[in-house]
């Protein structure tokens, strides 16, 4: 019996190491592509005087601290106001969000708040309802803590001249980089994710991801695809796979940069990672088979799609791998000089370190011209362990969701904006 267990654990570790190595190769391909590969041209260089009518949706739940900033930035946008409606979606707010939004609406006719106090709370539910009242042929989505650059809407809309493009995704840049170690780390992690990962996937015509904010999608396609699944927390990933499985594409635009507020607290970050993992793994369970069977995707897109689907599941399997190594050790099958644990640790960190491995972070830092902040990379060891644990918890949540058929509850990420920032925004009104 013990021998069978040992054999099983060894096979498991071997398979895991192969998977982690494949992820490492994937990340190397992306990094080399960004450093040395032929780059594709963006549509945003097009200047077109014909612009479509668009609706900007901003899901909000108790956002009184931050909503001034995004609304003021959208008021200052250069998109023609007669072709624009801004719909802040007040989703069951209990603070002063409703009053502040109504005050804005009384001043600006193109701001049309959508107050939602019935039905289930949650971003996907709020957007599903708000799309019904939106008049734009293109739906743009921003989270409430974002700051929109003046020319971004025009640049974003141009991607829809491509008939294959059903959604566009921009780049998220943390505004509070200097707040603490966590925000610095998240900033570098985001850089690697967008500057290298997303960009390479777009350049290589793979599966760039619609990220749910700083993004836009065609309203008719969205409705035809059945809108967001209310049971899935990662509505953005779900839409990505729906789009690709139906023969459309997601375009990633690195130059559509937008500031967001990164979590400044480890507890909040843990909840965020766990929620993302839970949502992403819900998508994995839903689209794993359809992806393999799809006749709309090329083989290379299917492979990339599988890598993407499993990205939040692999940490759980890696964690099991560590336990498997320990069990083997205590069963006396591994001496301390064995390569199993050593190799697993190396591959895990190399391929899975903090979602973006260290060489991808360095590549992003080179491309962004950052010389000094990249030096904090050794500290990412702590983040790797942290992510490993909370992502695994998210995986377990998703499995329980499937078994118990329970409905997930959306937990909003806490905002950290200081009172003085809010006052500064008020003065700009």
CA angle 364/366/369 to nearest 5° reads: 105
- Is the CB of 149 or the CB of 230 nearer to another protein? 149
Q: Determine, following the binding rule CB under 8 A, whether residue 118 of this chain makes contact with another protein.
A: no
Contact segment (CB under 8 A) with another protein among 112-120, 221-229, 332-340, 399-407 equals: 332-340
- Is the CB of 296 or the CB of 375 nearer to another protein? 375
Q: Least distance in Å: CB of 155 to another protein?
A: 6
| Near another protein by CB under 8 A: residue from 151, 246, 293, 298 | 151
CA angle 266/269/274 to nearest 5° reads: 125
- Is the CB of 216 or the CB of 308 nearer to another protein? 216
Q: Determine, following the binding rule CB under 8 A, whether residue 178 of this chain makes contact with another protein.
A: yes
Interface positions, 336-375, toward another protein (CB under 8 A): 336-337, 368, 370-373, 375
- Is the CB of 43 or the CB of 114 nearer to another protein? 43
Q: Determine, following the binding rule CB under 8 A, whether residue 257 of this chain makes contact with another protein.
A: yes
Q: Least distance in Å: CB of 383 to another protein?
A: 12
The answer to whether 143 touches 260, Cβ cutoff 8 Å, is yes
| Near another protein by CB under 8 A: residue from 376, 399, 414, 422 | 376
Q: Least distance in Å: CB of 385 to another protein?
A: 14
The answer to whether 253 touches 304, Cβ cutoff 8 Å, is no
The answer to whether 141 touches 116, Cβ cutoff 8 Å, is no
| Near another protein by CB under 8 A: residue from 1, 2, 45, 132 | 45
| Near another protein by CB under 8 A: residue from 8, 25, 99, 150 | 150
Q: Determine, following the binding rule CB under 8 A, whether residue 427 of this chain makes contact with another protein.
A: no
Q: Determine, following the binding rule CB under 8 A, whether residue 154 of this chain makes contact with another protein.
A: yes
Contact segment (CB under 8 A) with another protein among 155-163, 313-321, 387-395, 398-406 equals: 155-163
- Is the CB of 49 or the CB of 118 nearer to another protein? 49
Q: Determine, following the binding rule CB under 8 A, whether residue 189 of this chain makes contact with another protein.
A: no
Q: Closest by alpha carbon to 319, among 271, 381, 384, 363?
A: 384
Give the length of the chain. 429
For residues 163 and 149, what is the distance between their CA atoms, to the nearest angstrom?
A: 26
Q: Determine, following the binding rule CB under 8 A, whether residue 78 of this chain makes contact with another protein.
A: yes
| Near another protein by CB under 8 A: residue from 7, 14, 40, 119 | 40
Q: Least distance in Å: CB of 95 to another protein?
A: 26
- Chain residues binding another protein by CB under 8 A are 40-41, 43-50, 73, 78, 147, 149-151, 154-155, 161-164, 173-178, 181, 184, 187, 191, 257-259, 335-337, 368, 370-373, 375-379
């Amino acid at each position: 019996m013990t021998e069978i267990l040992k054999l099983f654990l060894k096979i498991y570790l071997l398979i895991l190491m192969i998977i982690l190595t494949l992820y490492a190769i994937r990340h190397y391909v992306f990094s080399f592509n960004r450093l040395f590969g032929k780059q594709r041209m963006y549509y945003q260089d097009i200047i077109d005087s014909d612009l479509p009518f668009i609706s900007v949706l901003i899901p909000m739940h108790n956002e009184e601290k931050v909503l001034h900033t995004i609304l003021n930035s959208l008021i200052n946008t250069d998109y023609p106001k007669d072709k624009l409606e801004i719909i802040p979606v007040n989703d069951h707010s209990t603070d002063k969000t409703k009053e502040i939004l109504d005050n804005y609406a009384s001043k600006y006719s193109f701001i049309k708040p959508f107050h939602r106090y019935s039905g289930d709370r949650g971003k996907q539910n709020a957007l599903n309802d708000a799309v019904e009242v939106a008049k734009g042929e293109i739906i743009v989505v921003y989270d409430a803590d974002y700051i929109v650059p003046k020319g971004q809407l025009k640049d974003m809309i141009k991607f829809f001249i491509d008939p294959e493009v059903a959604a566009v995704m921009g780049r998220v840049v943390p505004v509070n980089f200097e707040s603490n170690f966590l925000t610095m780390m998240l900033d570098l992690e985001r850089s690697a994710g967008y500057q290298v990962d997303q960009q390479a996937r777009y350049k290589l015509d793979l599966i760039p991801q619609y990220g749910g904010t700083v993004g836009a999608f065609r309203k008719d396609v969205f409705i035809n695809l059945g809108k967001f699944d209310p049971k899935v927390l990662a509505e953005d990933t779900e839409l990505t796979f729906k789009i690709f499985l139906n023969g459309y594409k997601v375009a990633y635009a690195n130059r559509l940069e937008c500031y967001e507020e990164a979590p400044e607290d480890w507890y909040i970050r843990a909840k965020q990672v766990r929620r993302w993992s839970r949502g992403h793994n819900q998508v994995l369970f839903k689209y794993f088979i359809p992806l393999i069977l799809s006749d709309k995707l090329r083989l290379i897109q299917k492979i990339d799609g599988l890598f993407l689907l499993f990205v939040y599941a692999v940490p759980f399997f890696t964690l099991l791998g560590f336990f498997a190594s320990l069990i083997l050790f205590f069963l006396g099958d591994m001496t301390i000089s064995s390569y199993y644990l050593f190799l697993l640790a190396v591959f895990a960190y190399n391929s899975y370190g903090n979602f973006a491995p260290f060489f991808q972070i360095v590549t992003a830092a080179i491309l962004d011209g950052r010389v000094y902040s990249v030096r904090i990379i050794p500290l990412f060891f702590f983040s790797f362990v942290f992510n490993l644990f909370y992502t695994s918890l998210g995986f377990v949540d998703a499995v329980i969701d499937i078994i118990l058929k329970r409905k997930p509850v959306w937990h909003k990420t806490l905002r950290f904006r200081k009172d003085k920032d809010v006052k500064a925004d008020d003065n700009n009104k």
